[in-house]
């Protein structure tokens, strides 16, 4: 509905129309009429983000004041900004928004009614507001909107550039969180992921304060809601793909909380990477990406307005944003709440080609790999990357952690001790050699390995210990060739494997030095054996 200047609690006096909690069809109409997006043949809305096709991590700031000084994990992830600079930015943003036609979404972060946070998203573009509609939990009735008072508000002005020199910023793009004022300002970027990750960062502070583990993971369950599996992983490791399993029910694909009642989805939708997406390999995501309500971000349309997911001329980080209701009936839990996990899976895409495709972890190993958060970049994905590069993102989500990683690790240890899930490390990366020499592990094999683990089919098999990484590797997995399970056996040159394994092991050890004083001897000793390597 259009509310003009009657919307309370906006923070400034609007001078133009406000469109408040519009339904999807009307947001479509506005986005197309405004020239913001195009319509794909099957009904998705297609938008481009211009210069920024991913997050601007170096332009993200947190206000440093008396409430955050001794709480936030300050550094490259959480860059401090002074309150007076925030005040100037807020005036800049509010003055700008007061002259614009605005779209406002009110909803929740968190599917569990006892743990959710009321969020308000203020946009100048209709398609960004549809993104909020997709990604957050919608109120179930109009009555919930009548007396809605947001606990956190995001103001998004994608076309507004700050004066970086005058404000002491890195660039004109800014993503600033003020925890005391429960406000975030985003400017200079059209990339919609900034909106969802800003709220996720807020939840990563809010939930642990009440003993709830906030997690950068996907989640699903099997025959019942007590058969929950978590999939931790960085972008490109298979978090969304592996959780969208035809044999299991999806809870969510990216952000969850684990509290006293079990696991709950923080979001109300999915934000899947769709580079090289195919119906054969990922039918659920394919179908969802061809439905009304979905936003295709930076995806090229062919001459018949069909999405071309193989075209990366704009970016390799092409995305599909859709509500969970766009997934097949019975394949997703619309309530987004389930029991405690029986299995926890850490995903890594090892481009060095030396980690086993699946291994079982002890609790100390789980803490080690959770704090490490390893995956790898491959040659060609970034300028200057000519060989695999190790990436360590603690807790598999460092860019979104306001608190010290030890806090999240402590909570995970408590949950594991209490509920005793099986913990697995799954390598969705390369086998038979590093990137450029070996080949990527077949998705069908990875899916079968994960399914076997979740069904308990690996509980009674024999295990061998990887001599370098100390990981317990199953000797057999149903319907998977035995010779792919121990990576050294897949290399034509074992000596080259040994050299590469030693290289990666040393990187693990060097990276973990930052946590050495925060963990027990048992966890410190759970990493690779550099002497052996």
Predicted confidence (pLDDT) per residue in 469-520, tens digit: 999 999 999 999 999 999 999 999 999 999 999 999 999 999 999 999 989 9
Question: Which CATH architecture is the domain 271-326 placed in?
Answer: Beta Complex (2.170)
Please determine whether the domains at 18-37+53-210 and 340-360+368-524 fall in the same fold group of CATH.
Answer: no
- pLDDT for residue 381: 41
What radius of gyration, in Å, describes the C-alpha atoms of the chain?
23
Domain 18-37+53-210 has CATH 3.40.449.10: yes
Q: Are 352 and 379 in contact (CB under 8 A)?
A: no
Which of the residue ranges 142-151, 255-264, 378-387, 507-516 would you say has the lowest mean pLDDT?
Answer: 378-387
Mean pLDDT of the chain: 93
Instruction: Give, rounded to a whole angstrom, the gap between the first and last alpha carbons of the chain.
Output: 65
- pLDDT for residue 455: 97
Domain locations in the chain as residue ranges = 18-37+53-210, 271-326, 340-360+368-524
Three-state helix/strand/coil letters over 386-414: CCCEEEECHHHCHHHCCCCHHHHHHHHHH
CA-CA distance, 348 to 165, in Å (whole number)?
39
Q: Are 117 and 108 in contact (CB under 8 A)?
A: yes
Which tens digits make up the pLDDT trace of 49-72? 999 999 999 999 999 999 999 999
Which tens digits make up the pLDDT trace of 238-275? 998 899 898 999 999 999 999 999 999 999 999 999 99
Fold of domain 340-360+368-524: Phosphoenolpyruvate Carboxykinase; domain 3 (3.90.228)
Position 464 pLDDT exceeds 90: yes
Which of 393, 407, 405, 404 is closest to 55 using CA atoms?
Answer: 393
- pLDDT for residue 387: 61
- Per-residue confidence at 220, pLDDT binned at 50, 70, 90? very high
- pLDDT for residue 378: 63
Active-site residues: which are they? 55, 197, 216, 235, 239-240, 254, 319
- pLDDT for residue 379: 43
Which tens digits make up the pLDDT trace of 295-313? 999 999 999 999 999 999 9
Taken as a whole, the chain contains a residue count of 533
Q: Are 257 and 219 in contact (CB under 8 A)?
A: no
* Residue 348 neighbours by CB distance under 10 Å: 24
């Amino acid at each position: 509905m259009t509310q003009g200047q009657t919307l309370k609690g906006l923070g400034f006096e609007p001078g133009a129309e406000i469109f408040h909690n519009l339904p999807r069809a009307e947001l479509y109409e506005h986005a197309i009429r405004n020239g913001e997006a195009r319509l794909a043949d099957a009904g998705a809305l297609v938008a481009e983000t211009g210069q920024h096709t991913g997050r601007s991590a170096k332009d993200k700031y947190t206000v440093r004041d008396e409430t955050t000084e001794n709480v936030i994990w300050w550094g490259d992830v959480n860059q401090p900004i002074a309150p007076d600079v925030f005040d100037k930015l807020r005036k800049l943003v509010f003055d700008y928004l007061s002259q614009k036609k605005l779209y406002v979404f009110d909803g929740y972060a968190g599917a569990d009614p006892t743990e959710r946070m009321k969020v308000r998203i203020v946009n100048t573009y209709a398609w960004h507001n549809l993104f909020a509609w997709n990604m957050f939990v919608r109120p179930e009735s109009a009555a919930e909107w009548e007396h809605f008072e947001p606990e956190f508000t995001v103001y998004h002005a994608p076309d507004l550039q700050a004066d970086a020199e005058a404000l002491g910023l890195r660039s004109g793009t800014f993503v600033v969180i003020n925890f005391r004022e429960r406000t975030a300002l985003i400017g200079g970027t059209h990339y919609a992921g900034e909106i969802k990750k800003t709220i996720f960062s807020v939840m990563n502070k809010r939930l642990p304060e009440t003993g709830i583990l906030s997690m950068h993971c996907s989640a699903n369950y099997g025959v019942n809601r007590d058969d929950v599996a978590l999939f931790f992983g960085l972008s490109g490791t298979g978090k969304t793909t592996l959780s969208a399993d035809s044999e299991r029910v999806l809870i969510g694909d990216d952000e969850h909380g684990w509290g006293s009642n079990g696991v709950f989805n923080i979001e109300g939708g999915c934000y899947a990477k769709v580079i090289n997406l195919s119906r054969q390999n990922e039918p659920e995501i394919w179908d969802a990406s061809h439905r009304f309500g979905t936003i295709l971000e930076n995806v090229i349309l062919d001459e018949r307005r069909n999405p071309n997911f193989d075209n990366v001329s704009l970016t390799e980080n092409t995305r599909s944003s859709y509500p969970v209701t766009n997934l097949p009936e019975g394949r997703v839990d619309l309530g987004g709440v389930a029991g405690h996990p029986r299995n926890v899976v850490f995903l890594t895409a090892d481009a060095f080609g030396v980690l086993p495709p699946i291994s079982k972890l002890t609790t100390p190993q789980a803490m080690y790999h959770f704090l490490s958060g390893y995956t790898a970049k491959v040659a060609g994905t970034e300028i200057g990357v000519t060989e695999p590069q190790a990436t360590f993102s603690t807790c598999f989500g460092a860019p979104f952690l306001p608190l010290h990683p030890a806090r999240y690790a402590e909570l995970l240890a408590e949950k594991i001790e209490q509920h005793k899930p099986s913990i697995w490390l799954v390598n969705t990366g390369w086998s038979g050699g590093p990137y450029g020499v070996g080949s990527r592990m077949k998705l069908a094999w990875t899916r079968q390995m994960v399914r076997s683990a979740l069904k308990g089919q690996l509980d009674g098999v024999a295990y061998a210990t990887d001599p370098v990484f100390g990981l317990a590797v199953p000797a057999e997995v149903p319907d998977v060739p035995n010779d792919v399970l121990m990576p050294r056996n897949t290399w034509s040159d074992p000596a080259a494997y040994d050299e590469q394994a030693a290289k990666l092991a040393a990187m693990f050890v060097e990276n973990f030095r930052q946590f050495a004083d925060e963990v027990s001897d048992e966890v410190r000793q759970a990493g690779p054996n550099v002497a052996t390597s």
